[in-house]
């Protein structure tokens, strides 16, 4: 009995020690650098406006048709739906009572003003890389906006994900706060591009896969992944031959970010929204810096998702392509200028996951309207005209022609995409 009692006491002490360790590491903070003195407040606000655009803050904090940055935008995840909070300077419902240190704490350490742990749908695992000067500029810009009194909507998360205490465990595993540091062996342009990609641009939030607990995997190499809750695939941003940027130049990347289209591809879906609200406002130098950095990322493995199309499927797809697609995209799949992009070597076409190509055929392709391309050409939807078998055939054909070597598409895949779009 004495031995059993000692064992229970020891086990209890060990559990307490583990709990305290979990609490310490799960709630730890990195103070980071001190605020930087500002000599020109108006210039700081303008810098903050640019950071807000780069970080695309409006996407999660402005509901369609609502007041700017007043919150309410639904953010679907596999754990439930979160809602972007009000970040206008209203003291009761926004960040009007927050100090610059409070704001820095949220961006850098993923904690609210009262110390509550924030859900990582707010991309603080990437924002932690931001400099204190940029965080303070963003704070100054948001504080300069009109205050909007709008109550924040409660998150609708399933149990047990609605228990914030579990975030302590998540943070121990997946969150390491720390400001970006330049690599002395690289150029200033490369370092600037890396900072924009890994910090305020938070590209890994979409272009890296997520594990079962919602943490990004292999974020540094940006190998691509499905965008949680949206049903689109974000392609690799590294040197993958078929699905990545191996055939692109840094200037090509810059043009896509600012205009929404290149001869290689046209942005659709969530990326079109990012370009509309964010990257079209990049300076030429920053857009090129991002391209320069991305072009140095090594290729990652992108295994074929399935088998190549059969000869019969390719024959059926070829007929449909000639009837519906060749007039714009040309018989050889090379397209015409940037208005009708090439399908040969197009990373949206050859991606490991065919969902983007399927959705564009079903629902049409509508590139973003930007300062460089204010009246972009669009592709009409074919979902009402073509059956699931037809869509599978024509998408399989373009994924397997003109040097493309992606896997075939099946009718059930098309049906799932069609059903998901109708929800």
- pLDDT at residue 6, as a whole number: 52
In eight-state DSSP terms, residue 82 is E
> Is the CB of residue 386 less than 8 Å from the CB of residue 320?
yes
Q: What is the dihedral of CA 9, 15, 18, 22, to 10 degrees?
A: -140
- pLDDT at residue 301, as a whole number: 74
> What is the 3 state secondary structure string of 147-202?
CCCCCCCCCEECCCCCCHHHHHHHHHHHCCCCCCCCCCCCCHHHHHHHHHHHCCCC
15 labeled part of a ligand binding site: no
Token pair listed for 53: 């655009």
CA angle 204, 412, 208 (to 5 degrees): 5
Cis peptide before 160 (omega within 30 of 0): yes
- pLDDT at residue 173, as a whole number: 94
CA angle 172, 176, 181 (to 5 degrees): 170
pLDDT in tens, the chain (423 residues): 555 555 454 555 454 545 545 544 455 677 778 888 899 999 999 999 999 999 999 999 999 899 999 999 999 999 999 999 999 999 999 999 999 999 999 999 999 999 999 999 999 999 999 999 999 999 999 999 999 999 999 999 999 999 999 999 999 999 999 999 999 999 999 999 999 999 999 999 999 999 999 999 999 999 999 998 888 999 999 988 778 898 899 999 999 999 998 888 889 999 999 999 999 999 999 999 999 999 999 988 766 567 888 999 999 999 999 999 999 999 999 988 767 889 998 988 999 899 999 999 999 988 888 988 888 888 899 999 999 999 999 999 999 999 998 999 999 999 999 988 766
- pLDDT at residue 24, as a whole number: 46
> Is the CB of residue 307 less than 8 Å from the CB of residue 399?
no
- pLDDT at residue 199, as a whole number: 97
61 labeled part of a ligand binding site: yes
The answer to whether the pTM exceeds 0.85 is: yes
> Is the CB of residue 55 less than 8 Å from the CB of residue 87?
no
Q: Is the dihedral of CA 241, 245, 249, 250 positive or negative?
A: negative
Residue 207's nearest CA partner among 108, 352, 34 is 352
Secondary structure of residue 229 in the 3-state scheme: coil
Output b/e per residue, 320-355; b: 16+ Cβ within 10 A: bbeebbeeebbeebebeebebbbbbbbbbbbbbbbb
207 labeled part of a ligand binding site: yes
């Amino acid at each position: 009995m004495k031995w059993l009692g000692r064992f229970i006491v020891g086990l209890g002490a060990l559990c307490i020690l583990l709990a305290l360790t979990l609490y310490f590491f799960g709630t730890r903070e990195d103070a980071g650098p001190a605020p930087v003195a500002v000599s020109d407040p108006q210039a700081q606000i303008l810098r903050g406006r640019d950071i807000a655009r780069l970080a695309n803050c409006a996407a999660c904090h402005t509901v369609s048709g609502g007041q700017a940055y007043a919150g309410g935008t639904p953010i679907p995840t596999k754990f439930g739906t979160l809602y972007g909070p009000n970040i206008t300077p209203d003291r009761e419902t926004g960040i009007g009572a927050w100090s610059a240190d409070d704001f820095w704490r949220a961006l850098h350490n993923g904690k609210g003003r009262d110390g509550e742990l924030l859900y990582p749908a707010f991309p603080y695992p990437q924002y932690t890389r931001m400099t204190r000067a940029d965080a303070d500029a963003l704070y100054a810009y948001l504080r300069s906006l009109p205050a909007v009194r709008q109550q924040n909507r409660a998150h609708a998360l399933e149990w047990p994900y609605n228990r914030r205490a579990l975030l302590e465990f998540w943070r121990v595993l997946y969150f390491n706060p720390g400001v970006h540091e330049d690599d002395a062996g690289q150029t200033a342009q490369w370092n600037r591009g890396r900072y924009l990609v890994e910090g305020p641009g938070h590209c890994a939030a979409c272009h890296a896969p997520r594990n079962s607990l919602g943490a990004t995997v292999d974020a540094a190499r940006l190998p691509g992944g499905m965008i949680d809750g949206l049903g689109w695939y974000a392609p690799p941003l590294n040197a993958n031959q078929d699905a990545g940027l191996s055939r692109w130049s840094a200037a090509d990347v810059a043009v896509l970010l600012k205009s929404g289209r290149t001869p290689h591809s046209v942005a659709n879906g969530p990326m079109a929204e990012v370009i509309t609200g964010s990257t079209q406002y990049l300076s030429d130098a920053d857009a090129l810096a991002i391209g320069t950095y991305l072009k140095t990322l090594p290729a990652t493995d992108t295994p074929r998702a399935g088998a190549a199309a059969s000869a019969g499927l390719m024959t059926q797809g070829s007929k449909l392509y000639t009837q519906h697609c060749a007039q714009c995209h040309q018989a050889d799949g090379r397209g015409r200028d940037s208005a009708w992009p090439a399908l040969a070597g197009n990373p949206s076409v050859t991606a490991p996951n065919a969902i983007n190509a399927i959705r564009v055929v079903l629902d049409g392709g509508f590139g973003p309207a930007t300062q460089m391309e204010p009246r972009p050409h669009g592709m009409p939807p074919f979902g009402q005209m073509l059956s699931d078998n037809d869509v599978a055939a024509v998408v399989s054909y373009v994924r397997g022609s003109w040097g493309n070597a992606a896997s075939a598409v099946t009718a059930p895949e098309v049906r799932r995409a069609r059903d998901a779009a109708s929800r």
